[in-house]
């Protein structure tokens, strides 16, 4: 059974998250501070942690290194009402797998959890995520269009994505996709189909991409 650690100081929201996750069959441990989350991680195993960014005491981002010391392979999702692209990049540089903006819908939370767990098993840690790589990836019109097409279609094979982006040189397009993967914006699932990562989804939602 997947075990989830929730650190959220809003009691009502914390209760809502616990009820939602337990209904989905997850095992949940909920606390109201980052310090309490770290304490729980010392004795219990968790697959993923949902950490509020701003709580009394330590922030959710500050707690990541402690959580990873106790459980190196735990996936971490930061939840915040004050998200920007810079906030997301900073959180991911410090080890977060994803950033979610409040308020969020139930399905969005469940999808983020599933995606984060999938990414955790497919990708190396993104603690070395470089903001320059993200902005560089967004500077190219083909890459921006590829991100938008993936957002619209959810998942695409290489040839379908190539056709939608309207680029005939497959070698050239493969290079662009490698840059997007390197920046942590897209990934391939176990069937080698391209999908947006949580980072890619977040960047698309919160970064005003130039119109091509």
98-143 pLDDT tens trace: 888 888 899 999 999 988 887 776 544 444 456 677 778 888 899 9
Sheet of 98-101: strand order equals 27-31, 3-7, 48-52, 75-80, 98-101
CATH 1.10.10.10 placement within the chain: 131-206
CATH 3.40.50.2300 placement within the chain: 3-122
Which CATH number does the domain 131-206 belong to among 2.40.10.120, 3.50.50.60, 1.20.1580.10, 1.10.10.10? 1.10.10.10
pTM of the model: 0.63
Query: What is the architecture, at CATH level 2, of domain 3-122?
Result: 3-Layer(aba) Sandwich (3.40)
CA distance linking residue 173 with residue 193, whole number of Å: 15
In the chain, what are the helix, strand and coil shares in percent, each to the nearest 5?
50, 15, 30
Chain centroid to CA 137: 17
CA distance linking residue 204 with residue 137, whole number of Å: 12
46-91 pLDDT tens trace: 999 999 999 989 999 999 999 988 887 788 999 988 767 777 778 8
> Nearest CA to 82 among 96, 102, 104?
102
């Amino acid at each position: 059974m997947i075990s989830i650690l929730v650190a959220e100081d809003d009691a009502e929201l914390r209760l809502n998250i616990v009820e939602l996750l337990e209904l989905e069959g997850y095992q949940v441990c909920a606390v109201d501070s980052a310090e309490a989350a770290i304490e729980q991680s010392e004795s219990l195993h968790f697959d993923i942690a949902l950490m509020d960014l701003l709580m009394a005491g330590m922030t959710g981002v500050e707690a990541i290194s402690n959580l990873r010391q106790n459980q190196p392979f735990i996936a971490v999702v930061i939840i915040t009402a004050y998200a920007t692209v810079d906030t997301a990049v900073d959180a991911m540089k410090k080890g977060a797998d994803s950033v979610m903006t409040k308020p969020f819908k139930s399905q969005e939370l469940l999808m983020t959890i599933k995606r984060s767990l999938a990414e955790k098993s497919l990708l190396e840690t993104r603690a070395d995520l470089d903001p320059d790589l993200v902005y560089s990836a967004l500077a190219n019109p083909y890459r921006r269009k590829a991100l938008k097409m993936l957002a619209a279609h959810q998942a695409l094979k290489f040839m379908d994505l190539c056709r939608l982006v309207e680029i005939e040189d497959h070698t050239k397009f493969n290079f662009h996709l490698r840059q997007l993967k390197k920046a942590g914006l897209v990934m391939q699932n176990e069937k080698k189909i391209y999908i947006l990562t949580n980072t890619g989804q977040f960047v698309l939602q919160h970064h005003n991409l130039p119109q091509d």
